[in-house]
Chain A
């Protein structure tokens, strides 16, 4: 779900949060996610994630009208097999932060994955329109589809294609 959460530098930011249960152990999901270069495999709007040093990465994307877009992010905190938190560095083209959490599900039925992402549009831009112009979809829908693909990749080793 997407929540427009208060004011930030005169514009409203957006916080999106979603849960999905994946039938793999938390350690395996954490290890896959921690290799941030894996994320473009299921994140529809990210083309590549490249490591700059041990905590910083360069994220590359293409806007819906075909322009290259990039931002630098940094891992703020991590708990082995439990969570990872990150934020874009100051002055990035895209200002965003987020975290992912892995909790074993009851009954041994896999792992509950919670993803929380926050986007802050440039001053004077309306957040949803700004996001749409960048990625061609709504933030909550993007997250829903990304997480569904993540689950497919983890449970099946592939992303299902209709054609």
Chain B
């Protein structure tokens, strides 16, 4: 079958690889109908995520139809249309039963390595670093789905792939970002970073009753979408000094009730210096200040909440914890517990209350995946997110 294969920094290729097969009675094999490129794929493309091996099949956002099921997968049958969470969860450990599927105890076969890095291991991931299991991904014609009986969600035929595919991760991530913000009707929400998760978080914040959303980014295309699609007040942070003052101006001097960090660190170095350097590179969102998190802490209203949706993976320096303490802030964060949000969000999509499809700015056949990676990486032609069809 054809699959997108990682070869190294800025080197992904579409190649013939062996078709996946069932390895456990709880597995399913899915024939992929649509798959997407994500921000994390860009980290892999940039070669900044260690633990990748040459030959790894990429892709953690995918959906399709069931091709084959293991003996214990009694809730799915061949031909069912399904969408798959980007993280793999066993469904039986304490964390899974608590709904904290991103923290699954069992699904990462290389969890020992994750424990060494982070003190504990979370769930395994499709198409990602071997620190998270090294499971072959779904930018392919077929993919093996472990614990399919727990993870796969059946979807009705009449809703388009473009609307369903964001359920794999970015829409649940956006929803959890807003939920972690504990938004109350009438709140002012600042969303730092208007990539796919930030843009969707604006939609979710609106549904939760946010009266005003301030969208911060430096890419005009993204800000235009935030304003048009999310009715957000755009703030272009390119070359801007005094972002905190700008946010205070937007909020009568109070600061936003909720700050959502949808940028994260985008850095995977191990030394503080490496992280610092990468932060400056990645953040662009502002001038000298090294982290969105700092801005969020400094601008957030007293007693407000900071929700971190963007990825952090190492150390950060000089977090103004004194300001956070003085202002009595709440900070919430973490990988998305995708499984618990998929069905409720699918309902909202079916009812027409949420439509994540506009996030896809580009559609390409799987065979042109390398071009898609380059385009999304360089944010060319207003590219926000790429959908691939095998």
Report which A residues bind B (CB closer than 8 A).
Answer: 21, 23, 109-110, 141, 144-145, 148, 151-152, 155-156, 158-163
B112 at the interface (CB under 8 A from A): yes
Q: Which 10 A-B pairs have the closest CB atoms?
A: A145-B112, A144-B112, A162-B135, A162-B133, A152-B106, A162-B134, A160-B109, A161-B23, A162-B109, A148-B111
Of B89-97, B248-256, B263-271, B307-315, the segment with at least 4 beta carbons within 8 Å of chain A is B89-97
- Report yes or no: A160 in contact with B112, Cβ–Cβ below 8 A: no
> In chain A, what residue has the closest Cβ to B57?
A163
Complex contacts, B94 vs chain A, CB 8 Å = 21, 23, 109-110
A144 to B117, CA, bound (A): 13
Contact A161 B106 (CB under 8 A): no
Does more than half of chain B's interface fall in helix, strand or loop, or is it mixed? loop
Bound-state CA distance A162–B135 (Å) is: 5
Tell whether B85 is near chain A: CB-to-CB under 8 Å.
Answer: no
* Contacting pair A141 B106 (CB below 8 A): no
* Residue pair B109, A161 in contact (C-beta under 8 Å): yes
Interface set, chain B 103-146, CB cutoff 8 A to A: 105-112, 115-116, 121, 124, 130, 133-136, 146
State the Cβ distance, A152 to closest chain B Cβ, in Å: 5
Cβ–Cβ < 8 Å partners of B133 in chain A? 160, 162
| Given A144-B112, A148-B111; A155-B24 close (CB under 8 Å) | no
* Of the residues A21, A148, A151, A161, contact of B24 by C-beta under 8 Å: A161
Chain A, residue nearest B20 (CB): A163
Rounded to whole Å, the gap between the CB of B358 and the closest CB of chain A is 34
Report which B residues bind A (CB closer than 8 A).
Answer: 23-26, 90, 92-94, 105-112, 115-116, 121, 124, 130, 133-136, 146
Q: How many A-B residue pairs have CB under 8 A?
A: 55
Residues of B near A159 (CB, < 8 A) are: 109
Closest Cβ of chain A: how far from B77's Cβ, in Å? Answer: 22
Contact yes or no, A155 B90, CB < 8 A: yes
- Among candidates B25, B26, B93, B116, residue contacting A155 with C-beta atoms closer than 8 Å: B93
In the bound complex, do residue A156 and residue B90 qualify as a contact, i.e. CB atoms below 8 Å apart?
Answer: yes
C-alpha spacing A110/B93, complex, angstroms: 10
Question: Given A23-B94, A109-B94, A156-B106, is A163 in contact with B112 using a C-beta cutoff of 8 Å?
Answer: no
Q: Are A163 and B105 in contact (CB under 8 A)?
A: no
Cα of A151 to Cα of B109 in the assembled complex, Å: 11
| Contacting residues, chain A, for B110 (C-beta < 8 A) | 162
- Min Cβ gap A111→B in Å is 12
- What is the chain B residue whose CB lies nearest that of A109? B94
How distant is the Cα of A11 from the Cα of B134 in the complex, in angstroms? 39
CB distance from A163 to the nearest CB of B (A): 6
Query: Which chain B residue has the least Cβ–Cβ distance from A105?
Result: B94
Contact of A160 among B25, B107, B136 (CB under 8 A): B107
Complex contacts, B26 vs chain A, CB 8 Å: 158
19 A-B pairs with CB atoms under 8 Å apart are: A148-B111, A148-B121, A152-B106, A155-B92, A155-B106, A158-B24, A158-B25, A158-B26, A159-B109, A160-B24, A160-B133, A160-B146, A161-B109, A161-B146, A162-B124, A162-B133, A162-B134, A162-B136, A163-B134
A158 to B149, CA, bound (A): 15
Instruction: For the complex, give the distance between the alpha carbons of A155 and B89 in Å.
Output: 13
Q: Are B106 and A160 in contact (CB under 8 A)?
A: yes
Question: Which B residues touch A144, using CB under 8 A?
Answer: 112, 115
Residues of chain B within 8 A (CB-CB) of A162 are 109-110, 124, 130, 133-136
**Bound complex: CA A12 to CA B109 (Å):** 32
- For A151, list chain B residues within 8 Å (CB): 105-106
Within 8 Å CB of B107, what residues of A?
160
Report chain B residues within 8 Å CB of A141: 112, 116
Interface centre among A145, A156, A160 (most CB of B within 10 A): A160
